[in-house]
Structure 1
């Protein structure tokens, strides 16, 4: 029988650290919420509006209950106050809304999305957050390709929402157009190629960041990148292509910024970034006829300019406070009298988030939304380019995880020029979630909001220094800061 020495050279062996069941269930719930946001209209196409509303409202109530029970650490003074201000102004629009029923219902969706975003950001660490986003995107990518495969192999013709096999008056009505094997555009489970494209682009970014951060099962991650790239290309979304070009510029600039080794070294990169950005925007507008023709689109962005003109004309009637919050548009509401058709169908958005907000919340709403994105882009940019530092040590390595918020910002800003998607679902959720997370936890793996979940998993070792302040080592990992006690930010 083996007997331990009375003077061992090392600690006795112990079983591996395992996550508690409660934390596993919490992370699974966060993945489900993120999946609902990314999949968007898939729930309405599959189960109908009533069932989707019940699931959405029930999910919001469950998240509020979890927040009360778990009480994750939140520094309320460091909330994303511009997000709060935008939500508050949208709520005030109930007082003058021309369509109060639409405003009330869509406000409920805004509240639920914002609450879910703040809860997930406070309940998960940065590593868990990126991992949860990756898991949710895997479900969206996998179900999208399986759905298209099922339609092409077993149905053999386009289908309408609700799994109805019938002929539509216009192809825009189809949930899936049975294009998997004929080279046409794929729409995925969302039923819209312009929604699938940006999500597939986001999936490529998230999986690549997971690879760079040393995540396990790397071969599978490469497989997910290939699948996401296939769906991105087959979605053939012009907006997503432009967003991919913008992301390339942002990523190259961030990596160059990280190489700067002296004060003022970043100035030339900022100048080059501004020249490329402004020059690219001017070239895109000047050459839009040739560019969109090459992409198989009309020069007026497939009818969007006509939609913008009608929405702006309505904005001019109430320029300062708008007509009332309505994201998305509820065309079934008799009071909602903005009736704009595209391909014979009533549109449910202005196809530009700034023009959309100008009609709903006026110039004041546009200014508030601008402040939301200015604060988000500012914080996410320096979160990505600045070396992690909370004491005198200035040589800690960068984390690949810090790239995600600024790249998400690039996607949403470009998408917002041709779609209103950034105002709801995953667009608004990621802006609120990352905006709050950066303020609460400006360093990956360091600070109270990061350490609480690590303690739950048993990954951190607590101690108390001579001053009485708690010191907790950041959990080890391929992209973790060095094991040096810090007081957080």
Structure 2
């Protein structure tokens, strides 16, 4: 397959992974499954033609995927685990597809797709506010929901139509936190491309994610933005300061981080009030307690990998209920991995994260002055996903996992061999 069709397929895969909820809300889970299946077949064809080497699979990634598949043997819900593990492998294949592009092309493509989603999301919210004047529910109900009506919970709404009222927007992905995370990734990529002079009209592409972050007001993502900003400042210091001065900078940042954590603990209720959250973090504390209790039933190997919890299988169908809404994630990457594949799985997950981060740092270390901004992008994207994972499980699936796989596949090899093509 020629580079252009391969790039188009990769762009489509990024869009499907980033805005899967929009597809499911429009054509339902059955239509989404068909699109995913067709995309997977096309990806396999591309990988076969490109002669992608399976032996190049990172060891930690292979161990993680193998454990997810094997967990169906001891799972509490074997069929759901087979489905979840299969979806995870399919997402990994999408990540390998992305890794067939050189890193600069991948970063440019991801930036273009994410910015496009932000543009469509704001237009969508404006249309809902003007034409509907209230909540808009998915065109096809979610599994377990027969239909939507005026009394349906707001949590089920695709959009609440609050753009012109100053309320939080949810965009085409139907979730303010998810839209905010896509905006953060777009901001990171726009900033890095602009810093390396590879982005025209960069003020507009930096402003759009910032506006989206302001409109979504996600506490989780705003905290992740702060973490990314600190790491970006450290990257600049690492590139420009003598090593001795950089070490003292690290000490100072560490002290400030400790002070910041202490301040958050002391002023917790005040800070939560500023971002419109209650003291139990929108039910997260109860969810975490339920997940920990479930994990303790099988702490070593977990209850079986299902990814996002299936609403049709016990115990996930009523494990986390808050204000009458069943939540389908632990709201923590660590807790979800622990519950589903135990301590063994968490060690494999951490190994994959660590080796990929090391590859990102090595790739950045070898950068020339003009490429430093571009080469910081994978590191900052990984940091953003890690920060999001403290209070959300989304990085475990779809775009977050695909990007992790792509970077894990590309970065170690690239750091030992040639630089990314300009």
Q: State yes or no: 1:107 paired with 2:94.
A: no
Map 1:153-232 → 2, pairs under 5 A: 153-162=130-139, 166-215=149-198, 218-219=200-201, 221-232=202-213
Q: Contact 1:158–1:165 (CA<8 Å) still a contact in 2? A: no
Q: Contact 1:196–1:235 (CA<8 Å) still a contact in 2? A: yes
1:218-238 CA distance string (max 9 Å, x none): 22x322322221111111100
**Shift in Å, 1:440:** 2.1
Q: State yes or no: 1:243 paired with 2:216.
A: no
Residues 338 and 319 of structure 1: CA distance in aligned 2, closer, same or farther (over 3 Å): farther
Map 1:295-314 → 2, pairs under 5 A: 295-314=275-294
The one of 296, 320, 330 aligned to 2:310:
330
Give 1 or 2: higher helix fraction.
2
Unaligned segments of structure 1, at least 5 residues: 1-20, 389-394, 451-474, 481-489
Q: Contact 1:331–1:339 (CA<8 Å) still a contact in 2? A: no
Q: Contact 2:316–2:328 (CA<8 Å) still a contact in 1? A: no
The one of 81, 87, 92 aligned to 2:65:
87
Tell me which residue corresponds to 2:111.
Answer: 134
Q: State yes or no: 1:345 paired with 2:316.
A: no
Structure of greater Rg:
1
Q: Contact 1:257–1:269 (CA<8 Å) still a contact in 2? A: no
Q: Contact 1:186–1:234 (CA<8 Å) still a contact in 2? A: yes
Question: Any idea what SS the aligned residue of 1:37 has?
Answer: helix
Residues 427 and 280 of structure 1: CA distance in aligned 2, closer, same or farther (over 3 Å): farther
Q: Contact 1:412–1:422 (CA<8 Å) still a contact in 2? A: yes
Q: Contact 2:196–2:371 (CA<8 Å) still a contact in 1? A: no
**Shift in Å, 1:298:** 1.0
Residues 195 and 66 of structure 1: CA distance in aligned 2, closer, same or farther (over 3 Å): same
Residues 285 and 91 of structure 1: CA distance in aligned 2, closer, same or farther (over 3 Å): farther
The one of 55, 80, 83 aligned to 1:76:
55
**Partners of 1:278 and 1:371 in 2: how far apart?**
26
**Shift in Å, 1:68:** 0.6
Question: Any idea what SS the aligned residue of 1:41 has?
Answer: helix
Residues 84 and 269 of structure 1: CA distance in aligned 2, closer, same or farther (over 3 Å): farther
**Partners of 1:409 and 1:419 in 2: how far apart?**
15
Q: State yes or no: 1:147 paired with 2:147.
A: no
**Partners of 2:45 and 2:321 in 1: how far apart?**
41
Q: Calculate the aligned-residue CA RMSD, in Å.
A: 2.2
Unaligned segments of structure 2, at least 5 residues: 141-146
Tell me which residue corresponds to 1:430.
Answer: 403
What is the TM-score of this pair, normalised by structure 1?
0.80
Q: Contact 1:243–1:414 (CA<8 Å) still a contact in 2? A: yes
1:200-259 CA distance string (max 9 Å, x none): 11111111222222225x22x322322221111111100011011111110001100011
Residues 268 and 226 of structure 1: CA distance in aligned 2, closer, same or farther (over 3 Å): same
Question: Any idea what SS the aligned residue of 2:308 has?
Answer: coil
**Shift in Å, 1:344:** 0.9
Question: Any idea what SS the aligned residue of 2:34 has?
Answer: helix
Q: Indicate the larger mover: 124-133 or 204-213.
A: 204-213
Q: Indicate the larger mover: 263-272 or 148-157.
A: 263-272
**Partners of 1:382 and 1:273 in 2: how far apart?**
22
Q: Report the number of matched residues.
A: 416
**Partners of 1:335 and 1:131 in 2: how far apart?**
41
**Shift in Å, 1:154:** 2.0
**Shift in Å, 1:338:** 4.7
**Partners of 2:366 and 2:316 in 1: how far apart?**
50
**Shift in Å, 1:169:** 2.6
